[in-house]
Structure 1
């Protein structure tokens, strides 16, 4: 999977830099072309000539050491890359990238590249768990950077714990697996809805729900990584747009209904994870309502059932719905699958701790109309998104072959 791929390997200054030499060798053996960028600190651990000998490519150490006067070095290297890998990635390098800093060849090239970036952290166990480092990694993850988790074991500092650079063979396998994923939905058009809707009463009041959009954004992020052309229609959320996805912002259920129907005919895979309001105020006010003695009743009316409408209009689309339930979730989920003519449904018990709205994790039962069922235990929403897309891809491919 890595044959003829152009990989830029960024080596930052940690003791694990010695493993980057073996990693370079493994990547070259896999058929990749590898160019190495070293930070000043990395050169205290391994000499540039080591990487030059292993890669048979130039090694870059200084932004201002232009090796070819006809090109701007960091831009040329950034454009050359099919894939960018930082291994080892120190806390300092991760912090620079999260902060948008560019004060050396590695950080400058990282800001200029459009290639997917993989980060393999390596540091002391306490550094790895420091809130600042965790926040930086979370920020980068939301922006679409991909992490290769460090292993647990004996560290050079003497501690035992998480923070050891993953082994070169494992990193190569992760990259190969990632390239396989890019084939899952290659050429497919994927439509995803996310977040809540807000149903206005007056200019300062509205009805809504606790959805944060995290599941839908995870699905969009993973769909892009799977090679899809992704359109993400989202209610009001405070999340960064997944890199590579086309984002459309809406507020009300009516706006989401209109945008979804506009993009539905061209879609191949549709995943409706948004928590759309079932009701809206029948009467709204142009100006803020003033307090008055006594109670106040709001008369509500039904909004469009978007999923029901999509099931009715379905032609070639593979349609996945979500069911967020608090009691007897499987029964209600199965009823929804049949009633709304879905191809699959993701059933969440939002009363379960760690699942549902606002969390970074989820646990689900995934049921397909074909009869395939899978129970997904508690995992991150990105991991669940990956599993859902893999299942959908396999089912869509199988359907096309019959």
Structure 2
């Protein structure tokens, strides 16, 4: 299948699913029908050409398959007439409606766990197959299939309808959507386990879906902030690993290899958003990323500005990684001893106790303070506690350098 056809199918998948669910209801049956329509298109379009109206083609094929599935699972004699009435007279139901946002909100229903929300979003909105999701997260395909199946059953049991939630629920549901997209991006940018540091298919999908969301919500500051954060972070990916796949820390990266176009887009986006929208955590994280990306050399980084931004972020969206990153910024501004003192206090947080990144940060600060033996011990401890092979190799290498 060509890249053009694959990209087109990924873009159209949520629109087609939204059209079917809006017309017929039954998320799980409609999702199965859309997957079969996508498979048919992937087989036919490369050989026969893309139809003049690909969205209408997919909706028509998926609608017919939806009816076949409905007939199969229903009492045929009693429902044959009703099923016939479902046959679409218009080749493109709901032609002017893009239900991507509604579909995202449904996939991030509060009755689902974050893991299930991620899997269902990638399947229903991203158009990824179960096998592709399984490969991306390094889990068995059967596990992903079970998660998706349970998620659809839970949505059905909750009585959720395919419509925008009431205004009172919308902010909370949108926060879940952004969180899911951020989880997908982070897993792709720094894989939590396995031999590869990056899973580009996940970062690319997260950026693509966030772009779609921004098209629907152009005035939402946090959607813009999340997109800017993804662009500014992913821009560093080409310089983040060596030829052997080894991790290269930010301060040692060849910044000429960073994606200048992505940085320019991200900086422009976050600059405009901070000027026009209420400030939120994704915007602050994007602003921090922009300060890093705009420094031509590591020594040019404005750490005081970064510390100020982390102080703001910690006040509105505290979290373990925010705490660790703020401590690094504090150490760069006030010295490693100040960072180590703050780290000793932060270690009391249950989410940080024993975390490999806490030991990695302590090792870095001890090294800056001149305590090479203690730094080596902390690097070795961090290496033992991470599940990421590239991170493990990097931490072990840092420990060896201090021997």
TM-score with structure 1 setting the length: 0.32
**Which has a greater percent of helix?**
2
